[in-house]
Amino acid sequence: MKHLLTAVIAATFATAATAQDGELDKVVMGTNWLAQGGHGGFYQALADGTYEDYGLDVEIMMGGPQMNNRPMLAAGRLDFLMAGNLLLSFDNVRNDIPTTVVAAFFQKDPQALMAHAGQYEDFEALTEAPTVLISKDGQFSFWQWLTSAKGFRDEQLRPYGYNLAQFLGDEAMVQQAYATAEPIYAGAEGAEVDVFLLADQGWNTYSTTIETRAELVENDPDLVQRFINASIEGWYNFLYGDRTAAYEAIMEANPDMTVAKLEKEMAQFQKLEIIDSGNALEKGIGAMSEERIAAFHDLAVEAGIIEAGEVDLSKVATTQFVNKGHGLEIKQRLMSN
């Protein structure tokens, strides 16, 4: 596998403008939670030397329950930040925080609703559930869309405290879920569940976006491009190649992870077509479109999540570093072996 990775890197070397003579450029990237399969492409690029081949010395700084990485980007302590979805980026623009989105590694947001298997015929039937557990953050974001556009009612709402005990004890209960996490945890407790991905119902935000400071885009676009290109290659190698080195790096960073847990998580990503789907199929992983960003902005306005005129969409994201088909040859090569 090492020889294959070397060959792939060599094949793309000329167009990628990768390794630099002299010292590597130090880059710090912050994640949005503890190391997990959903961060795998970045750990892959770190573990297999792709970042180094692009002239980068990358440090991945984990987020987590005791670590809020978000303010560290604007403060200059991070160079890149893995964000959740576009609402956070809208909020930055609204508050004159000079950051911008430069790639979207998930074409679908993994946010979902989860029910006990067979209790509800389809997504629409969830509107009749007596109780829906939603976190505080969810209540001020996707729940507003669910009530304004999908027929859910505030009478159903109860707070979700990120503990499965309530859900496991009530067959009629519905709760929010990260589609690659809570369903696996419920299964480990013996509960079969149905997962309803909000993205499949019209919640059209990108997810696992990468933000950087606007001044870095303006003053050092080469560094931004190298980081994005290397990360894209990391994701293709992680999805379609040997994940062993990335798994080891993830488990070293987060000892609660195991190979079995990571394999289950990645099976969910593939089943739900979270990453390599939509525009990414032709334009490459990381792809974004201005039209889709505008469409999600309109959804958020119509749902009352943000107010019209608050967000200058020209400052939310730039597509100058993606949509080039970068890495598609890696996928083709790995899938043909």
DSSP notation for 31-64 = -SSSS-GGGHHHHHHHHTTHHHHTTEEEEEE--B
- Choice between 337 and 92, residue whose per-residue pLDDT is larger: 92
Q: Which two tokens stand for residue 188?
A: 């480990």
Confidence of residue 186 (pLDDT cuts 50, 70, 90): very high
- Alpha carbon of residue 171 to chain centroid: 30
Q: pLDDT at position 8, please?
A: 38
Confidence of residue 44 (pLDDT cuts 50, 70, 90): very high
Count of positions (residues) in the chain: 337
> What is the C-alpha separation between 193 and 189, in angstroms, rounded?
11
> What is the C-alpha separation between 262 and 38, in angstroms, rounded?
9
All structural domains of the chain: 2-108+205-336 (3.40.190.10), 111-201 (3.40.190.10)
For the entire predicted model, the pTM comes to 0.90
Q: pLDDT at position 64, please?
A: 81
Element (H, E) at 267: helix 259-271
> Number of C-alpha atoms within 13 angstroms, CB side, residue 62?
18
The three-state secondary structure class of 22 is coil
Residue 15, pLDDT > 90, answer no
| Strands 99-106 vs 80-82: parallel, antiparallel or unpaired | unpaired
Amino acid at 229: N
Q: What is the pLDDT of residues 191-233, one digit of tens each?
A: 999 999 999 999 999 999 999 999 999 999 999 999 999 999 9
Q: Which of 155, 179, 182 is nearest to 167 (CA)?
A: 182
Element (H, E) at 186: helix 182-188
User: From the CB of residue 186, how many other CB atoms can be counted at a distance below 10 Å?
Assistant: 21
| Cα distance from N-terminal residue to C-terminal residue, the chain | 11
> What is the C-alpha separation between 158 and 59, in angstroms, rounded?
39
Q: Percent of the chain having pLDDT more than 70?
A: 93
Q: pLDDT at position 21, please?
A: 56
Q: What is the pLDDT of residues 78-120, one digit of tens each?
A: 999 999 899 999 999 999 999 999 999 999 999 999 999 999 9
